[in-house]
Amino acid sequence: MSDPINVLFVTTRIGPFGGIEETLRILCAHLNPEDFRIGLCTIQNPGEQAADRFEKLGVHFFSLNRKGYFFDPATTFEVAKVIRRFGADVVHTHNNKGNLHGRLAARFLARAAIATTHHDLGDAGFAKTPEARVKRIPGGWVERTLFPFLNVALNRLNDKIIAVSNAVAKIYARDGRDPRLAVVHAPFDENVFGGGAAPFKRDEVVLGSVGRLEWQKGFNHLITAFKGIVARYSGIQLDLVGEGSLRPQLESQVRDSDLASRVRFRGELSHDSAIYREMDIYVQPSISEGSSITILEAMGMGLPVVAADSGGPADLILHQETGLLVPPGNPAALEEAILYLLEHREEAVRMGEAGQRRAHDLFSSRRFIQKTTRIYQELAGRI
């Protein structure tokens, strides 16, 4: 039996919950420990609970407690030390600062194979495919220009480039074509979110959405759409699960729309199936979405889904078969789609059942681990 492949993940930080955190958790929990030895290096300090969660999975944890600025050779050298100490065969980078320092360290200072997963559409200003290019992305110069440029430019150092959707793939290769590029959709954990939702079984209908309260998620458009829905339906509630910098602004919008009794800001809840069991329809109003683990979790639970066609969701949802897709940034279209499901509940339930089958067949953690295992074996020269 050959020795395990040493895989080191390098990322900026680990928070309580997010798409990158959940992807890393699934990798750490489900990669075969006989085949892989796993390490996790964070540029910045993680929260204690996040660190404990990964250490309990048997992960070798390295926290550098650094800022990780774009020009910060000391951080790159520290990452290289971790790569050498851990004996990494493969360095798998995530997020802006993880991508920058992990790739420079692995290529020039520590000599390990490099894979990078690109999780979102934030680098679209420098897209290799012209029609995927976006001219204006909110944020400061560093977030809007510098790191997106580096994320795209430093792919030349990579042995493997991983995109979480076909929309993301078009950013990093013209028409998504590069021999190093693989589309590996973000997974959901079918062992946790495998079913149990019962839409339209209660007197009150609950619309729900999960995500960071930031501009990319488009919650302002959902609140606008919900105002029109409330005018038609009295027994309906909207639950928003998550935290973020826009919470005060969104709460003000709710008050100004006389929706305070109908909209609940749930904050950050435990990441388990109970989040979705209280919902009847799941809504994802994002302006920009590379993929969406929360859509997959809702589908896995059997909920009908309405989502903005903002990139990655088109890979997940078959329009009018497993859910409904609407143009992003369009509250009227969002309202119309939600009203359609409310007025055609048997069809909505069928969509939820079809979506559940699709999620389990195509986007489960099992399939994700199979694809990722093969990538690591190729990079390590085992196949």
Q: What is the pLDDT of residues 132-152, one digit of tens each?
A: 887 666 667 777 789 999 999
Model confidence at 383, in pLDDT bands (50, 70, 90)? confident
Question: To the nearest whole number, what is the mean pLDDT of the chain?
Answer: 94
For residue 166, give both structure tokens. 């076909």
The CA distances from residue 177 to 291, 364, 370, in Å, are 19, 25, 22
What are the pLDDT digits (tens) for 247-301? 999 999 999 999 999 999 999 888 889 999 999 999 999 999 999 999 999 999 9
Sign of CA dihedral 163, 291, 15, 27: negative
Backbone angles phi, psi at 231, to 5 degrees: -65, -20
Report pLDDT for 370. 97
HSE-up of residue 383 (Cα within 13 Å, Cβ side):
8
Question: Which are the contacts of 28, defined by CB distance < 8 A and separation ≥ 6?
Answer: 38, 40, 54, 57, 58, 59
What's the pTM? 0.94
Tally Cβ neighbours within 10 Å of residue 214. Answer: 17
* Contact present, 139 and 286 (Cβ < 8 Å): no
* Contact present, 317 and 308 (Cβ < 8 Å): no
The CA distances from residue 14 to 72, 129, 269, 306, in Å, are 20, 31, 17, 29
Closest CA to 116 of 61, 155, 78, 77: 155
What are the pLDDT digits (tens) for 325-334? 999 999 999 9
- Scanning the structure block, which residue is given the tokens 């774009």? 70
Q: Counting every residue, how long is the chain?
A: 383
Could you list the beta-strand ranges (E) of 79-200. 90-93, 113-118, 160-163, 181-183
What are the pLDDT digits (tens) for 5-52? 999 999 999 877 788 999 999 999 999 999 999 999 999 977 667 778
Q: How far apart are CA 21 and CA 54, in angstroms?
A: 10
Q: How far apart are CA 93 and CA 224, in angstroms?
A: 38
Backbone angles phi, psi at 324, to 5 degrees: -125, 135
Question: Hey, what domains does the chain have and what are their CATH numbers?
Answer: 5-187+364-379 (3.40.50.2000), 205-362 (3.40.50.2000)
Average pLDDT over residues 361-372: 97
The CA distances from residue 284 to 221, 269, 287, 382, in Å, are 10, 17, 9, 40
The CA distances from residue 57 to 28, 51, 189, 221, in Å, are 7, 10, 15, 39
